[in-house]
Amino acid sequence: MVIPRVSDEPLPRSLSEPLPRSSRGPLPRSLSEPLPRSLSERSETKRRPEPPVNAHPRPRTVDAASRRAREVAASVLDPEVPVLTIEDLGVLRDVVVDHGRVSVTITPTYSGCPAMDAIRDDVVLALTSAGFDQVDVRLVLAPAWTTDWMTDAGNRKLVEYGIAPPTGRAAASGPIRLQLSVRCPRCGSLDTREIARFGSTSCKALYECRTCLEPFDHFKVH
Ligand SMILES: [Zn+2]
């Protein structure tokens, strides 16, 4: 027995297909063509994740000229603490020689640090004296310099110069930053006290040793 249809209306398209080709029209693009390249390769891309945007760039291949230029720039002294080189301070960020042009990147210890103009001039002078005719010095403010960038050699030189090096790490996380005692660079005593927040420069505080009674500069953690 045949169940009669309720009406003569055509069935919904989805049920009545396949229609003759001529009435179907062109297939939707997504079905009639191969996937666009970018979609078909998506899974391939996922298997090779992009490095994080702020990852450190790979060290570039350093040629002899760049090495030499770096040596020269690294020997420039900090005008405020002339036993420290700008490399000891961690101020020298990058030196690249490209087609004879030297590009030096430095990060000031403090933005507006008056020593930076002198450092820039000294870098240009040192490099031109060493035979590099074209020198660009670029100041990069971010990431901001911290005393953590100072080298161990730099910290030793500070003590020998009579300045107490930074105590602790600026990058210490958490709400409590350990305040370490400042050691007197002359006698080594930890019995010291701050007598002025700003010493000979804004980077330093003026301290006094209660043991040997000498005042000294302390390079503040920054
Ligand atoms: Zn002392």
* pLDDT tens per residue, range 127-177: 999 999 999 999 998 898 888 999 999 999 999 999 999 887 766 555 545
Task: Determine the distance separating the centroid of ligand 1 and the alpha carbon of 88, expressed in angstroms.
Answer: 25
Task: Determine the distance separating the centroid of ligand 1 and the alpha carbon of 82, expressed in angstroms.
Answer: 22
CB 108 within 8 A of CB 139: yes
CB 122 within 8 A of CB 85: no
Mean pLDDT across the stretch 112-117? Answer: 76
Give me the phi and psi of 64, to 5 degrees please: -60, -40
Task: Determine the distance separating the centroid of ligand 1 and the alpha carbon of 163, expressed in angstroms.
Answer: 11
Task: Determine the distance separating the centroid of ligand 1 and the alpha carbon of 83, expressed in angstroms.
Answer: 21
Q: Which residues contact 191 (CB under 8 A, 6 or more apart)?
A: 184, 209, 210, 211
The structure's pTM equals 0.63
* pLDDT tens per residue, range 30-67: 444 554 444 444 444 444 555 455 444 444 556 899 99
Superfamily of domain 64-139: Fe-S cluster assembly (FSCA) (3.30.300.130)
Task: Determine the distance separating the centroid of ligand 1 and the alpha carbon of 27, expressed in angstroms.
Answer: 88
In this predicted structure, what is the pLDDT of residue 38? 47
Task: Determine the distance separating the centroid of ligand 1 and the alpha carbon of 193, expressed in angstroms.
Answer: 11
Residue 52 burial (CB count, 10 A): 7
Task: Determine the distance separating the centroid of ligand 1 and the alpha carbon of 187, expressed in angstroms.
Answer: 4
| Domain boundaries of the chain, sorted by first residue | 64-139, 162-168+181-219
